[in-house]
A = this chain, B = another copy of it.
Amino acid sequence: MTASPPPPMPRSRRSAGDRRTQLVQIGLELLPTTPIQELTIDAVAARAGISRSLLFHYFATKREYYTAVTRAAAEFMLEHLLPPPGAPQEDQVPGMLDRYVGWVEAFRESHLAFVRGAGGGDPWVAEVYEETRQRLVEVALTALQLPDDAPRRQLVLAWFAFAEDLVGSWADEPTLTREELLALLRDVLDRLVLRGR
């Protein structure tokens, strides 16, 4: 069953950095198919062609490993979403929204795995997820030139939950055109955020 997929591997020696990134990379590859918590150390090690022990050399605990993987996934997504340096103010939020929808369309399963995994019991993973959301809110509020106070932050965070859910189900069953979806999301955000004005 769990036979030897990498048998001809002459078992080379790698630098510490290389191994770490290789292991995280493997985690990212496995993430779409496996709920991150159920990722077994054995499977990852086997796929990397190394012993279980070595993985524990790099990541003291299983949790430490998959939070590293989660963090890498989050970083990857953020890089994709954040507006490019020269983008004009008023295009930043629409741009991010557009790229977000594109992201979900492209990486549907992986993204779901990330979002789902976020809620999934483990506080460390949830924390990474929360950090990501917070950073996105900050960017959005500055782009909209709005003060970053607690009430507005709550609203925008909740709107994120709204957008995440809607885009997710829309990707499954597109009841709107892509443009209608984007317009709807923007509209709801505007109304929410301009409320106290």
Contact = CB atoms under 8 A, between A and B. Distances in A.
A54 interface: no
A162 interface: yes
A36 B37 CA distance: 13
Interface in A168-187: 169-170, 173, 175-176, 184
A83 interface: no
A27 interface: no
Contact of A119 (B38, B120, B155, B163): B120
Contacts of A122: 35
Interface stretch (A9-17, A71-79, A90-98, A110-118): A110-118
Contacts of A157: 165-166, 169
Main SS at interface, chain A = helix
A106 interface: no
Nearest to A37: B121
A11 to B, nearest CB: 33
Contacts of A119: 115-120
Contacts of A51: none
Given A37-B37, A38-B121, A119-B115, A158 B162 contact: yes
A159 interface: yes
A151 B176 contact: yes
Question: Nearest 8 pairs between A and B by C-beta?
Answer: A119-B119, A35-B121, A120-B120, A158-B166, A161-B165, A162-B162, A151-B175, A158-B165
Interface of A: 35-38, 115-122, 126, 150-151, 154-155, 157-166, 169-170, 173, 175-176, 184, 188, 191-192, 195
